[in-house]
Amino acid sequence: MQSRSRTRPFWLSAGSRSEVDAAVVGGGMTGVAIAYFLALLGYTVRVFEERGSFALGASGRNGGHLSPGPLEISGADHERAREVLRFEHQTVRQIQEFVDQEGIRCDLRFGGHVRLAGSEEEFEALKGSAQLLQEEGYPVELWGAEEVERKLKSYPGVFAGGLFNPAGAQWNPAAFTYALAERAEEAGAVFHFRTRVLRVEQAQSGFHVMTSAGVFPAKRVVYANNAWAGRLGVERITPVRGQALVTEPAPSMWDFGASTVPGAAAYWLQLPNGKIVLGGLRSLSPSKEVGEFNEEQLHPAVSAGLRSFLRHHFPALQDLQIEAEWTGIMGFSPDGNPLVGELQPGVWILGGYSGHGMPVILSAAEALAALIAGKEPQIPIPQAYRPDRF
């Protein structure tokens, strides 16, 4: 069963443990959030996390941007894009309310976010997005090349323009996950650390969750292990390694929160203590870091690119010392939208955020918990997130 040992203790069979209403795989922000909302609905929940604590995967390794999008809207399906826009803005508002109500300390601040264009072509695409956002009532601003240069304090000519969204926020995602985990535990969710889910088997009624710590029966299962979902047979989620770094405190640079260049090629923000968090540039790796699971290894070309990025774009940011550098594994879907819903009777998924989970997870988890409980979600899940869309 769970080990290579050829002996198999009879007492550790599936019947030894009480069945829960829901087993959740993964203790990142997603697993914690779905556990919290299911527990609030009165469900018994066990969360299995293979590492020693919460948020040790992407949720504790990301860039700290909580930026509702999408901001590059192309193609004809504007209705779906509108739904996603509303959903993500709603998630950010929900996070703000939750943080205020619960007094959560996660450095949440609404500095806004600017999406930058590296070329005229990219700027044209941003203009299309701006129009859609303005039609929807979002007070976004288009910044021309000179305005960007002035506001970013960048070298002349490096950016062709930008789209500023004041709804963009920045935060400490690990701190939020820890706080949510405390509330999930208070609501009754049980967390099993250092417990890896090896596979999930259909049982007579419900499922047997086969783990490194034995068998746990559950009425239903939620895959909240994002990049690693493929290892349990979930198709359509591909692991992609991201990389980021933090500098020593720099001179105060920007009076807005965060910046991104298209395709998340690079993204950065300045923390209140002056340090700059910068991530991206995985295109500098020949594989684009697709299929990479190793969090212990930095890609040398991505590291070199990140280390020289600030120097090449901003005259005031020369020769900053790097205080820390890390990687994390993201789960990408084929179209960049997450998978939120039922995969087969009793098996649910919440993942595949394609590097953009922060403005999705909380509302998606609440809505999914309602669906699991047979209720109408207060905020409907966008059609674009349906797992059966492929």
Ligand X SMILES: Cc1cc2nc3c(=O)[nH]c(=O)nc-3n(C[C@H](O)[C@H](O)[C@H](O)COP(=O)(O)OP(=O)(O)OC[C@H]3O[C@@H](n4cnc5c(N)ncnc54)[C@H](O)[C@@H]3O)c2cc1C
Q: Contact residues for ligand X (CB under 6 A)?
A: 25-31, 48-51, 56-59, 61-65, 196-197, 224-228, 232, 242-244, 279, 328, 330, 351, 353, 355-359
To ligand X, the closest distance from the beta carbon of 329 in angstroms equals 6
Cα angle value 91/92/96 (rounded, 5°): 115
Of 43 and 191, the one with the shorter C-beta distance to ligand X is: 191
Q: Which residues contact 92 (CB under 8 A, 6 or more apart)?
A: 66, 68, 167, 169, 359
To ligand X, the closest distance from the beta carbon of 367 in angstroms equals 15
Residue count of the chain, please give it.
390
| Amino acid symbol at 311 | R
To ligand X, the closest distance from the beta carbon of 32 in angstroms equals 7
Residue 227: CB atoms within 10 A of its CB come to 25
Of 138 and 193, the one with the shorter C-beta distance to ligand X is: 193
Rounded-to-integer distance, Cα 390 and Cα 388, Å: 6
Which stretch of DSSP H or E encloses residue 31?
A: helix 29-40
Residue 230: CB atoms within 10 A of its CB come to 15
Rounded-to-integer distance, Cα 22 and Cα 34, Å: 10
To ligand X, the closest distance from the beta carbon of 223 in angstroms equals 9
Calculate the alpha carbon distances from 27 to 46, 193, 229, 335 in Å: 10, 8, 13, 25
Rounded-to-integer distance, Cα 126 and Cα 120, Å: 10
Of 56 and 367, the one with the shorter C-beta distance to ligand X is: 56
Of 31 and 382, the one with the shorter C-beta distance to ligand X is: 31
Of 35 and 73, the one with the shorter C-beta distance to ligand X is: 35
Residue 112: CB atoms within 10 A of its CB come to 21
Of 257 and 357, the one with the shorter C-beta distance to ligand X is: 357
Of 145 and 382, the one with the shorter C-beta distance to ligand X is: 382
To ligand X, the closest distance from the beta carbon of 48 in angstroms equals 5
Structure tokens at 320: 């900053």
To ligand X, the closest distance from the beta carbon of 137 in angstroms equals 23
To ligand X, the closest distance from the beta carbon of 232 in angstroms equals 6
